[in-house]
Amino acid sequence: MSNPLLSQFDTAPFSQIKNEHFKPAFLQSIEDARQEIDAITSTKEAPTFENTIEALEFSGQQLDRISSVFFNLNSAETNEEIQKIAQEVSPLLSEFSNDITLNEALFKRVKSIHEQKGGLDLTVEQQTLLDKKYKSFSRNGANLSEEKKTRLREIDATLAKLNLTFGENVLAETNKYQLHLTDEADLDGLPEGEKEAAAQLATSKGKEDGWMITLDYPSYIPFMKYAKNRTLRKELSMAFGSKAFHNDALDNQENVLEITTLRYDRANLLGYKTHAHFVLEERMAETPEKVHSFLKELLDKAKPAAEREFLQLERFAKKLDGIDRLEKWDSSFYSEKLKQKLFDLDDEKLKPYFKLENVINGVFKVAENLFDMHFEEVNDIDKYHEEVKTYKVYDTDKNFISLFYADFHPRAGKRGGAWMTTFKSQWKKNGKNVRPHISNVCNFTPSTKSKPSLLTFNEVTTLFHEFGHGLHGMLGNTTYPSLSGTSVFWDFVELPSQIMENWCYEKEALELFAKHYKTGEIIPMELVQKIKESATFQEGMQTLRQLSFGLLDMSWHGVDPTNITNVKQHEDEAFKNTKLFPDTTETCMSTAFSHIFQGGYSSGYYSYKWAEVLDADAFAYFKENGIFNKEVATKFKDNVLSKGGTENPMVLYKRFRGAEPKVEALLERAGLL
């Protein structure tokens, strides 16, 4: 059978790919990659940087391309068949990865080059690549005995399947829940646009009348924020908070316990105290102790503010509606009401100024002003769904920079949240700079019959955030693909994304795109001022929430988890210093905490806050010189965005900023000083 995935494609041939193509393509490309490895180990030539390290770096490229296409589809446009294939191929990929890192002949060659690196005339990037390749062996079992290597393979194969199952259960639980309402009084408080969207959703789900609310963010969040019916808010909140926590076929409690125990066993096998010790060795934070002291420093600053804000919210709810005890399902509702009262600002006033197409053009314009990038929408690029938009990106001299895919709305086959992915990496070889193919995937409020897609302000900042990751990928300019774009330490990867959010609060940037979708009127300055004033609203509570997630992550991964038998009990213990709302026994966060149990954030959730320190400090530099200052933007592009993981991130940051970041910049911005 002619398999499009095994052809030499540039852009992914989505329309030609059928599900039955994937497994044969994986099997064939794994075999091809094996032969490339064999060619490295069987050569009679003495090991050199070129014939071993570079040859290893550029091996398996077809396999990488197929994997990037397949696993993004499994997140953005999945179905039962794709999920089944994922369960079959994940252990194969894990096994192949182990076959490389546990290949003694290959490791011997890598090790001999690593031992003589001082005498080799290598560039900084080559030294980084050599260190990275050596560590990919030593940190993944190359120095283990045969018996321990076998055990490592077993652990990795099991973990590959467990991580997938965890994510599938969360998606199935999200899709399973539907709140079908037929009495319009139940939607009291919901803005007209949200009601229309709920009616449209009901129709799309085959209901002849009424309104549908689901656990997808664009449906769930507005209901929790605006619906006056407290009983229904509670029902929805409990459904959201109890995903994969029902002691049924989709329950994730055993998966959580098994994943954390296996990660711990794996770390021990490799000579590390815990999974966190293993992970953090390759992070800016370096050790669990540093992470805990960082989280504690922020907790000490944020907790008093959070407690004051909570008390204010509690009193407000009591005065407004006689609520004696504030519950989790009251948080968004009364916070929104209080915000409207304090700042006379709510999303419904802002949304008309944030038509999706305008915001997309706005983020492009910001990138143009800062980094000389030009985006041109094209319709001749193959895509995996009709809703996906495709763009060619050029610099001012019309040189091609990147291909950019954008996929913005929820669908049944799409997991929640927002992310950036790479369909093709950037690298340089034989005098050619191969440019990347980058994608942003989000779940934004869709258009309705009467209105275009109008974004909440939170969705606007999410779009800028993911686009920041996209810039990191698009502007990559390194020699080696494994060091390009977002291939950086995990607690550095959020700097380009989080710094971009800052432009959403600036008058100069908002004037580029925040125009009323009907009248074309630019967002009034008093609204911009209110956005800025409200930016630190409940910042203490928000910070405490983020810290609680970081502490929960470390509580699973920075300890010996083998004696933990009750997921909920363990979670309650981890949350005790950050708890504001009364607990609900029916809910559990861990069972749906995809960031750490399916994504790559295990022992790394703290990095959102860590990167906020970096981004607040970095943006302060822009503010001092002008938010569109070309000199500062060029320094950021040349020292951060284009450099990927070619050097230690702190070295790159100091080259951009002239000094290490200061936590005070974040505390000042958050109003916590």
- The 3 state secondary structure assigned to 325-369 is CCCHHHHHHHHHHHHHHHHCCCHHHHHHHCEHHHHHHHHHHHHHH
H or E stretch at 394:
strand 389-395
CA 76 – CA 627 distance, rounded (Å): 34
What are the residues whose beta carbons fall under 8 Å from the beta carbon of 482, sequence distance 6 or more?
Answer: 57, 129, 132, 425, 645
Say if CB 661 and CB 613 are below 8 A apart: yes
Question: What share of residues in the chain are helix, strand, coil (percent, to 5)?
Answer: 60, 5, 30
What are the residues whose beta carbons fall under 8 Å from the beta carbon of 479, sequence distance 6 or more?
Answer: 125, 126, 427, 428, 429
Say if CB 667 and CB 499 are below 8 A apart: no
Tell me if residue 45 falls in helix, strand or coil. coil
Phi/psi at 214 (nearest 5 deg)?
-125, -175
Number of CB atoms found within 10 A of residue 45's CB? 9
Write the DSSP string, 424-437: E--EEETTEEEPPE
655 strand-pairing partners: none
Say if CB 225 and CB 332 are below 8 A apart: yes
For the packed helices 457-474 and 494-501, what is the interaxial angle rounded to 10 degrees? 140
Q: What is the residue type of 356?
A: L
Tell me if residue 78 falls in helix, strand or coil. coil
Joined tokens for residue 308: 């004051």
Q: Which of 404, 442, 482 is nearest to 64 (CA)?
A: 482
CATH superfamily of this structure's domain 244-342+536-673? Neurolysin, domain 3 (1.10.1370.10)
H or E stretch at 665:
helix 663-669
Say if CB 575 and CB 260 are below 8 A apart: no
C-alpha distances in angstroms, 206 versus 79, 187, 236?
Answer: 19, 20, 21
H or E stretch at 393:
strand 389-395
Joined tokens for residue 549: 């997630």
DSSP-derived secondary structure letter, 561:
G
CA 444 – CA 15 distance, rounded (Å): 25
Say if CB 509 and CB 366 are below 8 A apart: yes
Of the residues 466, 494, 501, 539, only one is catalytic, namely 466
Say if CB 427 and CB 481 are below 8 A apart: yes
Mean pLDDT by 10 residues, the chain (673 residues): 91 96 98 98 96 98 97 95 95 94 95 94 97 95 94 95 96 96 97 94 95 95 97 98 98 98 98 97 94 96 96 98 97 96 90 97 98 98 97 97 96 91 97 98 92 94 98 98 96 95 95 96 92 92 97 98 97 97 97 93 94 95 97 98 96 96 90 85
What is the CB-side half-sphere exposure of residue 141 using CA atoms within 13 A?
25
Joined tokens for residue 617: 């400090």
CA 662 – CA 618 distance, rounded (Å): 10
Q: Is 466 a catalytic residue?
A: yes
CA 21 – CA 49 distance, rounded (Å): 36
Domain boundaries in the chain?
4-143, 177-241, 244-342+536-673, 352-535
Evaluate whether 244-342+536-673 and 352-535 have a shared fold. yes
Domain 4-143: CATH architecture, name and number where available: Up-down Bundle (1.20)
Phi/psi at 404 (nearest 5 deg)?
-130, 125
pTM to 2 decimal places: 0.89
CATH number listed for the domain at residues 352-535: 1.10.1370.40
Number of CB atoms found within 10 A of residue 671's CB? 12
Q: Which of 668, 643, 663 is nearest to 653 (CA)?
A: 643
pLDDT of residue 1: 57
Q: Which of 127, 104, 97, 101 is nearest to 114 (CA)?
A: 127
Joined tokens for residue 66: 């197929």
Which letter, b or e, does each residue of 92-131 get, where b requires 16 or more Cβ atoms within 10 Å of its Cβ?
A: ebbebbbebbbbeebbebbbebbeeeeeeebeebbbbbbe
For the packed helices 288-321 and 331-343, what is the interaxial angle rounded to 10 degrees? 70
